[in-house]
Structure 1
Amino acid sequence: MFELRRAIAALPRRRSAPGPDGVTNAALRNLDESALPDLLAHLNEAWRSAVLPPEWRTATVVPVLKPGKPADQLNSYRPIALTSCVGKLLERMVMCRLVHHLETVGALPDCYAGFRRGRCTADAIADLATTLEDGKARRRTTGVVFLDIASAFDGVLHSAIVDSLTRLGVRGRALRYVRAFLQGREARLRASGLYSAPRTLTRGVPQGSVLSPLLFSVALAALPHAARVGPRYKVPLQIATYADDVAIWVSDHGGRRRFVQDKLQRALTNMEYYLATLGLTLSAPKSVALYNGPHRTFDLTLTINGRPLEVRREATYLGLRVDDRVTWEPAVRDALRGTRTTTNILRLLGGARRGTEQRMMLQLYRGLTLARVLYALPLLALTEHQWERIEQAQRVALRVCLGVPRHASSRLTLAEAGMNTVRNTAGERAMRHLVRMQETPSAASLVARISGRRAQLADTLTRLRDIAGAPVRYTAPPPPNEPPIVVAELSVSNLSAKRNVQPTVARQLTEHHCDERYHGWARLYTDGSVRDTTGTATAAAFREDTGRAEAERLVFHASSTTAELAALQLGLRLLDENEPARVVVLADSRAALSLLRSPDRSPQLAREVVARVGELQGKGWIIAFQWLPSHCGTSGNERADQLAARAHDDPGCPLSPVPPFTDARLLVRRRVALSHPELEHGPLPPRLPRRLTRGAAAALHRLRTGSSFTPAGRARWRTDRDGSCGHCGAHGDAEHLMCHCPRFSDARVDLGRAYGTLGCPSDTLDELLRPRLPRAKAERALRALATYLGNTGLKDVM
């Protein structure tokens, strides 16, 4: 049942079209609790018998016209296959078991980056890019071939998939289920409400299936080994694979050009033979080669199926434009072209005074403009000039989003948008990719290769280790077919939101809940504490039955969730392994306890806590976890909270064994945030409150960037304009209009009263625009300022 609940929880939240049986994902998510046993029995019957209902093996194919393609051509349509959501629910359960087995035994090669948890296209791009940069720096000869497998997903033989699973150790019901899943499949076309006759599919993995990507990867699992068949050399053949996008390359000393060519040709011949056993072929017209080396006159000659392979100056791999001189200029041009296109779209959505609100505009900027730059460019060694071109294009887009003119300060524009420079953001993205790689066992060899190359990403790896230290040892999650190790209750009976309940009532409800659920159990209280002012984090645990209490300080400024997990780890160390008992661990962090309930998707520290619980349970302990509200007067929780608070200032407090890499992403984000160019001139200004009209928000942004359309500002750009105030004749700059012009004196009194109520002066323009207040009060002050601009009509002037 727990596997079924996990699979239902993983169903997509977006609206889904049903298959032939008419059942949607929403219907499965909203099933009554009493219906789950019947659903599980239905799924188990199909699992045991390996006989799948016909509607599970039938797909309804809906043709969707590709954007910009002519409607009268068949290849202009993208087929979308709709299959049974109930069948896909069982596929999810089976896939969890298959993935755990394949990853545990190391069945899939490390060079496979597609459809694996913790892997993505950045892995394949990073491997290729660092090789090319290293070869260029060492003046090596590098030959790369980007391969295209013709109709890969639709042409692979079913027998090849089953044989590959058998070779990788998959037996019993899992193998019989996959065989039944592939056999007897049918598809019928639906167009204009009409259905075609069903067509039997004898090859390929089913489109739209949850299992299909994994089965395709299994079929190609032996491809890297097959490509390397032949004499062993000191310089190996390298392969990067993402689904059916395969790249192979060889890099050797500059004088060994023929060796590089011969090794690539041998690999191509081997791959042709192996793919033929799977029912697949390499497409020579769509495959391309690229050559980089100190001798530009050398002609790389390769063939596929006897047909010559085209050698190009540029090639595209996983969306990245690669050039044979490794300048990355084509990739930069693509990014700039896309930035200009999306900037024009943003211009249509928002003007200087009306249009889409800034918050939505910035979301579109991040999703359409910035994401294009952050896809692959952070992994590459770009020049200063290339970065400056990218920065300039991004600043244009940001000014459009904020509604400020072109002459607005770049530094202040970034501060107003709450954004860092693109280069700093790209550096953070690269380090986050490296953190992910080091947390994934199958990517460990990739990190080792990158660290030994002369490449930009290798320098980024060194910087990451200076910030977060060495990676931690990986702890595998428990098998998916085993019952959950941790039982964690995240609520208290009859207790609604804590903010709506008095502390005394919350304490009474908590005590009643614990007495009712855990009567006779020993109680272990844990608490984590983070103090931003000192940059310290502590953890504490208190065992009520023995009175034993301990606290420790983490060696880095951790997040609150990490501090809570460290406290749970400390609390479990307080348990006496020689005296098994029933213990309830009480903590006031729902986030930390939630991580214990899903260790397969949790960070390393949470998996270590789960593993420790499993060890204690194996020795006879019965352990439960219970959330309780904080600061409601529960004596044990207050004691743990006091211990954690005192540990911040105790120089003799022992140090926690939790390493800094546990919070590597947080440490990286903090370090990158410190490099914001505005911090050289003081703290960042408070952000504008939400739900302001675009006109009001744009006026405030222009005021805070010194680019408002005041009479004095217009006179700087138009010599025929008068820069004086139209009411009193004084110099008409923003300071005068906002703080001194007698025309707005009455409204200014109300504004000063609003600021005074919040404890903030309002005598100067800087005090008005950048109130030195806590975040909530600063938003109230800026909202009052926006109201002032609207009431006085200055919003239209600025």
Structure 2
Amino acid sequence: MVVEVRSETAPPRRVRKTKWAFHKAEWQAFAADCEQSLAELEPDLTTQVLADRFESALQRAAVRHIPRGARADPRPWALDPDLQEAIIERRAARAALRDGDTPSRERWIAAKRRAAELEKKATIAHFKDFVSTTLNRPANVGRVHKTLKKWERCCDDEPRDGQAMLKGDRLIVTDRDKAEAFVQEYARVSKQVGFRAGRSVEDSIGRLVQQVQDGWNRPKSRRADPPEGTTAQKYVLVAYDFARAYDVVDHRLLRLRLLELGLPRCMVQWTWQWLRDRQVAVEVNGVKSGERVFRAGLPQGSVLSPLLFLLWAAPLAHSLKAIQGCTPYMYADDTATLCAGASIETARHRAQQAADTLTRWARTSKMVVSGEKTQVLVLSQWPKDAVDLSIRVAGARVEARETLNLLGVTLDRLLHFGPHCKRMRQRTRPRLQHLRRLTGRDWGLEERQLRIVANGYVRGALEHAAAAWLPAASPSHVEVLEREMREAARVITGCTRSTPTEALMAEAGLAPVTARKTTLAARFLAKARALPEEDPLRRVADATVNPRLKAVTGWRTVGLEAWHMAGVVAPIEPVLPPSVAPWEEAPPVVFDLGIGATPPSGASAETRRQAAALHLASLPQCATWAWTDGSATGGVLDGGAGGYIEWPDGESHELRAPAGKLCSSYRAEMVALRETLNYIGNHTDHEEDPIILCTDSQAALSALRSGPAEQRTQLNRAVWDALALVSDNGERQRRWGFGSA
């Protein structure tokens, strides 16, 4: 692996590669020139000499008679007739320029200005046309996002090239020394970091916020020495920073810890071989350093690195949990501890214990804790608790701050998230300006495209881990985000500021932030309740704490209120257990999502029915035929599933099954498939015959076609289990029927 670094002061000169303009070539003159050159050859020349002469003749003739151009396709705006005329006038004025001739110089300056103005107008006109036509296509929504992201990173905050470097006390000037310094200290494969599937920042922040709010809502202490955890709690949150955490994981120590955790030796050996003997070199301005062999570090950008780091840090998590009142929060290489106590002195003492434990573990693990970058935050309803509180981390004194940044979320003492809302506003303001650049009075993106982009580009920035913190934010801070969404709605619709808020948001098709708060909280609560009972987030979601503070509201309370209004009752369907191993052989099932020659989109129902009947007639007729269908009122309520089974001997059977009070059409279709397959699997009178299962849900078949290892819900897994049951004795075919079953 070679990392190339450029350290020149000036950017490299970019000379566009010229191309042969064959359509402008004088081919008759080219042929005559070649004939004349080859006619003068001596007859006794060797084959090599003849080949060299022939190549030389072709090259000379090509240079004379085939022109070369810098660009085969000029910029579209450069073809503007007025601009081309202005460029011709500018060139003529430049050619007529004479020293000491004032009128000719003034004509040249005027021609330059006119050409520059016309070029600017042409580029703007082309950009407007590009946005109004190309970017307005539904398939180009991703291209719009890429354009906006490019504008967002238009500022250059990278170090300047051509500067000397300091390595310790030594000044590095030559390219060779720079390359060696890079390979020793800064050589990294990627800045990307992978995370665990099914886990997110929202899970960690949500568990932390709800745990703190539950501690605050406990009754006040009436005794001098109350039992642990029975009264209102005060917290000290500490976010630690490991210097280059992934890059200093020792391979030998990692192998020992994997063995201590009981992983199979074959897996440990495979991991050892994967990490060991990786080499890197750095090239600076053509000067290549020596190769460096890595004896430590996890490849950044690999999906295995976060898992290996969590296994590497498992002893640390076990040690931190052993401290009374201490809860560790570990997400990839970000580590934080939340220490609770009936008094702030108890919480600070436990936070110091956790800091000492983490520092000792880091020292034995050959890692470095950066005390200067460690953050401390007091979470308490009493302002005086945050005064003059500090702990020592790795020899450095760390004082409590007013805010703490953890996983992209800014937390404050009262968990009202005012600083975080202001930070989100600062983040979205430039994005709104970029969105305005894509629309005008008579040009730009259409409203449909603007709505899609605003939901992803603007709302996506505001709702980072929003289910965890937005329900706890105070109404005044939520109003800060509401203003930004109303500004996005004005960009979409073109409405003035005097437009009523409700009409503005309805016209733009955007949900207010307060409505999104309820939706996100209900969804997050359902996700937490679907986790296994031993999961920490599930325990927080199932906890019951009587509210004591009216101003403290979390996602669990808001989610339960939303459930009550929507008629949702427990239990929630559990998440899918560990997936099937990908190397296990799938049942012999054939998925067919086509019906042969597809009728045109405007074809009549009779034409489509004939096409479907023709395709079904081509399938084996001596088989068990099953037809399934599912539906829900409005696609969300009172789902029902049904099936019709026809056996090879002519007998038939009908099935009906409820799919759930809150149910999508997709889920109803999957329930119909499951019930039909289970019924067929329980009746083995025709197990030697193939099974043809027809459904009108192409989405269901597309999800099932990926195989049992790729299913993400228990319902989909149940369908595959039923498929495996009925596929034991031969090949089974599943077909997609055109129209309703």
Shorter chain as denominator, the TM-score bin is 0.5 to 0.7
Matching residue's letter, 1:221: A
Change (3 A) 1:503 1:497: closer
Change (3 A) 1:65 1:210: farther
Contact 2:528 2:541 in 1 (8 A): no
Match of 2:310 among 208, 217, 233: 217
* Shift >6 Å, 4+ stretches: 17-20, 73-80
Contact 1:136 1:326 in 2 (8 A): no
Matching residue's letter, 1:181: W
Deviation at 1:238, TM superposition (A): 1.2
State the alpha-carbon separation in 1 of the partners of residues 726 and 355 from structure 2. 53
Q: Does 1:605 align with 2:705?
A: no
Change (3 A) 1:279 1:584: farther
Q: Does 1:435 align with 2:526?
A: yes
Alpha-carbon deviations, 1:421-460, whole Å to 9, x = none? 1211232233333333344449843132144355421113
2:208 alignment counterpart: 128
Match of 1:469 among 558, 569, 580: 569
Deviation at 1:121, TM superposition (A): 0.4
2:701 alignment counterpart: 593
SS of corresponding position for 2:189:
strand
1:374 alignment counterpart: 463
Deviation at 1:165, TM superposition (A): 2.9
Deviation at 1:240, TM superposition (A): 1.5
Alpha-carbon deviations, 1:581-620, whole Å to 9, x = none? 4533332322112222344343221112223334555xx4
Q: How does 1:200-215 map to 2 (within 5 A)?
A: 200-215=293-308
Change (3 A) 1:150 1:383: same
Deviates more, 1:343-352 or 1:277-286: 343-352
SS of corresponding position for 1:408:
coil
Match of 1:303 among 392, 398, 412: 392
Contact 2:2 2:280 in 1 (8 A): no
Q: How does 1:48-63 map to 2 (within 5 A)?
A: none
Change (3 A) 1:19 1:621: farther
2:556 alignment counterpart: 458
1:320 alignment counterpart: 409
Change (3 A) 1:359 1:542: closer
Contact 2:330 2:336 in 1 (8 A): yes
Matching residue's letter, 2:345: R
Deviation at 1:336, TM superposition (A): 2.2
Deviation at 1:493, TM superposition (A): 6.7
Contact 1:525 1:543 in 2 (8 A): yes
Change (3 A) 1:243 1:555: closer
1:574 alignment counterpart: 679
Alpha-carbon deviations, 1:400-427, whole Å to 9, x = none? 3322222122222212211111211232
Change (3 A) 1:153 1:67: farther
State the alpha-carbon separation in 2 of the partners of residues 459 and 399 from structure 1. 33
Change (3 A) 1:290 1:576: closer
State the alpha-carbon separation in 1 of the partners of residues 2 and 719 from structure 2. 40
- Counting matched residue pairs gives 535
Of all paired residues, the percent bearing the same amino acid is 24
* Structure 2: runs of 5+ lacking an equivalent: 5-152, 167-177, 219-231, 548-552
Match of 1:154 among 239, 243, 247: 247
Matching residue's letter, 1:587: T
State the alpha-carbon separation in 2 of the partners of residues 488 and 130 from structure 1. 48
2:738 alignment counterpart: 630
* Structure 1: runs of 5+ lacking an equivalent: 1-16, 21-63, 89-112, 632-637, 642-798
Q: How does 1:109-148 map to 2 (within 5 A)?
A: 115-138=195-218, 139-148=232-241
Deviation at 1:571, TM superposition (A): 0.4
Contact 1:488 1:593 in 2 (8 A): no
Q: How does 1:255-274 map to 2 (within 5 A)?
A: 256-274=343-361
Match of 2:497 among 396, 403, 406: 406
Change (3 A) 1:347 1:507: closer
Match of 2:477 among 377, 386, 404: 386
Deviation at 1:185, TM superposition (A): 0.1
Change (3 A) 1:155 1:513: farther
State the alpha-carbon separation in 2 of the partners of residues 366 and 498 from structure 1. 33
State the alpha-carbon separation in 2 of the partners of residues 520 and 354 from structure 1. 61
Contact 2:194 2:305 in 1 (8 A): no
State the alpha-carbon separation in 1 of the partners of residues 514 and 600 from structure 2. 42
State the alpha-carbon separation in 1 of the partners of residues 488 and 516 from structure 2. 16
1:292 alignment counterpart: 379
State the alpha-carbon separation in 1 of the partners of residues 245 and 532 from structure 2. 27
The alignment yields a C-alpha RMSD, in angstroms, of 3.5
Deviation at 1:308, TM superposition (A): 2.1
State the alpha-carbon separation in 2 of the partners of residues 504 and 67 from structure 1. 60
Change (3 A) 1:492 1:383: closer
Q: How does 1:34-73 map to 2 (within 5 A)?
A: 67-72=156-161
Deviation at 1:623, TM superposition (A): 6.4
Contact 1:568 1:609 in 2 (8 A): yes
State the alpha-carbon separation in 2 of the partners of residues 611 and 169 from structure 1. 31
Larger Rg: 2
State the alpha-carbon separation in 2 of the partners of residues 246 and 355 from structure 1. 46
TM-score w.r.t. the length of structure 2 is: 0.65
State the alpha-carbon separation in 2 of the partners of residues 563 and 584 from structure 1. 20
